[in-house]
Amino acid sequence: MKIFFRLLVLVLAIAGVSVYFWRGIGEASREYPLSGTVECDEVHVGSRYGGRVSRIHWQEGDTLPPGALIVELDAPELTARLEAARAALSEALNGPRPQEIAAAKSEWEALSAELDYARSDVRRLRELLRQGSTAQAELDAAESKAAYLEKSAEAAHKRYELLVAGTRPERIAQVRAQLAEAEALLSETIVCAPPTTSVLESLNVKVGDVLTAGREVATLILEDHLYVRVYVPATWLGYLRVGDEAIVVPDAMPDCTVRATIEQIARAAEFTPRNVQTPADRIEQVYAVKLRLTPTAQIRPGMTVAAKFANVPKPPPEFRRSGKIRAQGFAP
């Protein structure tokens, strides 16, 4: 009987310890410290055409002004294509040379004069044929020659009118498009920074390298585009809206506060249990919230920070039951 009693006490003690630790783990799992790591937007720049690297203007770690020229590529064939397109446009705009117009006019006038003579010859032969002084074959030959000269003079007149009218507008538009294409291709031989201040994080080329089309040249960090991603429980979603303000405090500088704005709230939960049925279990659902930080010299990418939301008035009931509520994330 004593042995049975001792075993019962031992079993109850083990069960009590297990429940204690199980509840501790469960309560601890309900703690959601709103901490995260500062990240920043990156830009990967390169050339859509390619070429040989001729000059590099910046080095890794440099702060680049907006639109700064980073790398120049050498592509002689593109320069030649651009010059050809410019020459074609100049020719199209200037139109035919005066000498060409004068030559076309002279040809038309000469053919017109020959046509007049041929027509008079036809009239003369018709009169002679009526008198019986010539053969029908001679008249037929004269009429054939006059018809040929009439067509030739008409064609020469049209060529002259085309030269006087100049280049067709459609042809000029076509040449302009070819010039724009050549300029666009040549612009791909320079790799520039985005239109905002950035830091050259990595440079993947050196002078003399031959780049293929689309190869990445450099990676830039946009220090003015800082953000941090934190995870909040499902019960907080009723308090948070896109555009709401928040406060971010770096772990390394507790006295420094940085304003932030909610930029995105995930629509799908993460770390969700397989079967969520009870209100106590639904607290296990967390949603990613992206906070856009106000640019400041104190905050750098990679720093660990804590986020506080002004619109969360107090810890939800599920948090209050744990007895281990953290101050961060709740309004005072």
Say whether pLDDT at 279 is over 80. no
Provide the CATH number for the domain around residue 54.
2.40.50.100
Both 124 and 159 in one domain: the answer is yes
What are the start-end ranges of the E strands in 48-152?
51-56, 63-64, 69-74
Q: How many domains does the chain have?
A: 2
**Could you tell me the pTM of the whole model?**
0.55
Whether 300 is in a domain gets the answer no
104 and 161 in a common domain: yes
Are 111 and 160 members of one domain?
yes
Look up the CATH number of the domain holding residue 154: 1.10.287
Do 151 and 211 lie in one domain? The reply is no
Mean pLDDT of the region 82-107:
86
pLDDT over 90 (residue 187):
no
| 139 Cβ neighbours under 8 A, 6+ residues apart | 122, 125, 126, 129
Tokens of residue 40, six digits = 């920043």
Residues 65 and 122 in one domain: no
User: What is the pLDDT at residue 273?
Assistant: 44
Task: Give the pLDDT of residue 271.
Answer: 61
pLDDT value at position 130? 83
Same domain, 100 and 144: yes
Q: Is the Cβ–Cβ distance between 322 and 30 less than 8 Å?
A: yes
298 close to 270: Cβ distance less than 8 angstroms: no
**Tokens representing residue 60 in the block:** 């890794």
Q: Is residue 248 part of a domain?
A: no
Cα(276)–Cα(283) distance, integer angstroms: 9
104 and 141 in a common domain: yes
313 falls within a domain: no
pLDDT higher at 20 or 78: 78
pLDDT at 285 over 50: yes
| Average pLDDT of span 160-182 | 86
Element (H, E) at 291: strand 286-293
* pLDDT average, residue stretch 93-104: 83
Q: What tens digit of pLDDT does each residue of 296-310 get?
A: 877 888 889 988 887
- Confidence class of residue 162 from pLDDT cuts 50, 70 and 90? confident
CA distance 193 to 224: 14
What pLDDT, on a 0 to 100 scale, did the predictor assign at position 59? 93
Q: How far apart, in whole angstroms, are the C-alpha atoms of residue 269 and residue 13?
A: 38
Residue % of the chain over a pLDDT of 90: 19
- Looking at residue 170, its pLDDT comes to 87
Considering the domain boundaries, does residue 232 fall inside one? no
Is the pLDDT reported for residue 328 higher than 80? no
- Indicate whether 126 belongs to any domain: yes
Using an 8 Å Cβ cutoff, are 185 and 78 in contact?
A: yes
Residues 148 and 192 in one domain: no
Instruction: Please indicate, yes or no, if residue 308 is contained in any of the structural domains.
Output: no
Q: Which pLDDT belongs to residue 164?
A: 81
101 and 158 in a single domain? The answer is yes
- In this predicted structure, the answer to whether residue 220 has a pLDDT above a threshold of 90 is yes
Do 56 and 116 sit in the same domain of this protein?
no
pLDDT at 321: 46
**What gap in Å lies between CA 205 and CA 52, rounded to an integer?**
10
Are residues 161 and 198 both part of a single domain?
A: no
Host domain of residue 63:
44-74+188-218
Q: Quote the pLDDT of residue 308.
A: 86
Q: Is residue 7 part of a domain?
A: no
Q: Is residue 67 part of a domain?
A: yes
